[in-house]
Amino acid sequence: MLLGSIEAGGTKFVCAVGNENYQVKDTITFPTTTPEETLQKTADYFKQFTVDAISVASFGPLEIRQTSPKYGYITTTPKKGWQDTDFIGFLKKQVNVPMFFTTDVNGSAYGEYVMSLLSNEDLDSLVYYTIGTGVGGGAIINGKLVGALGHPEMGHVLLKRHPDDLDFAGVCPYHKDCLEGLVSGPTFEARLHQAGQNVPLTDPVWDIMSYYVAQAALQVTLILRPDKIIFGGGVTSEKFLQKVRRDFAKMLNGYVDIPDLTKYIVMPAIANNGSATVGNFALAKRLLKE
């Protein structure tokens, strides 16, 4: 059995083929440019292999309802040029195999869930956030992805403003001061006129960021009560999560019981942001069994 994975990000695409044990056999990475160029590179890559099924984990929003005439589309994304793109339709015309379609964060969430099963970790649920060019979140409850009418859009929840951040407009074109608008990678450039990787963790902006991320963790804790909350993406680091745990503890104020925070709010178990690839292999394998 040969399985395909497409991790479609706003900055780059990571395509891979692997086996049913989730081992990568081959992979390629290329920049996300126009839909036509990027999706054609994707199709050309998979034409080299005889894959049994492919799972796509893409930036969104997406239409994931198979009853919709626009199933398989990227819909109202803020990424220029990608609005209303028939992602699955384009690929199916050239690589006609079963395809699973979900968000990039759902793919990562499922990868982390599969890894927990393989490591005999007693988890039934988790939430996965990625904080990078954008912000998204996916949830697994009782082993299943959450979302019926559509996939979650956890990156666009509204937040209470930090008292030292009242004048910042936010970068989300739809909501301004939602989670994505306040903590995604581009907010560093908007606030400080420099890239986030150049901002030391001693800068007060990180305390503002942790205040917002802790609010997101508090929301899903009180709404979903997951076993674990995972933060991935380029903005996240273990030292940053130490600040998040500190702020989260203050906000929760002992209201409900949760695990030790060092085990509850964590970095991904799969290194190098590889969670979506493992998740895609598992979802493609599951699709074949269904």
- Cα–Cα distance measured from residue 278 to residue 107, given in angstroms and rounded to the nearest whole number: 8
Query: pTM of the full predicted structure?
Result: 0.91
Q: Take residue 19 and report the two structure tokens written for it.
A: 């086996």
- Cα–Cα distance measured from residue 1 to residue 19, given in angstroms and rounded to the nearest whole number: 6
pLDDT at 232: 95
Residue found by looking up tokens 């492919």 in the block: 54
Q: Is the pLDDT of residue 149 over 80?
A: no
| Own/partner long-range contacts of 13-17 (Cβ < 8 Å, ≥24 apart) | 13/38, 13/41, 13/42, 14/276, 14/277, 15/42, 15/45, 15/46, 16/277, 16/280, 17/46, 17/49, 17/51
Nearest-5° angle of CA 279, CA 281, CA 283?
65
Q: Per residue in 19-63, pLDDT tens?
A: 999 999 999 999 999 999 999 999 999 999 999 999 999 998 999
Q: Domains, the chain, ranges and CATH?
A: 3-103+272-289 (3.30.420.40), 120-266 (3.30.420.40)
Q: Per residue in 77-108, pLDDT tens?
A: 988 999 999 999 999 999 999 999 999 999 99
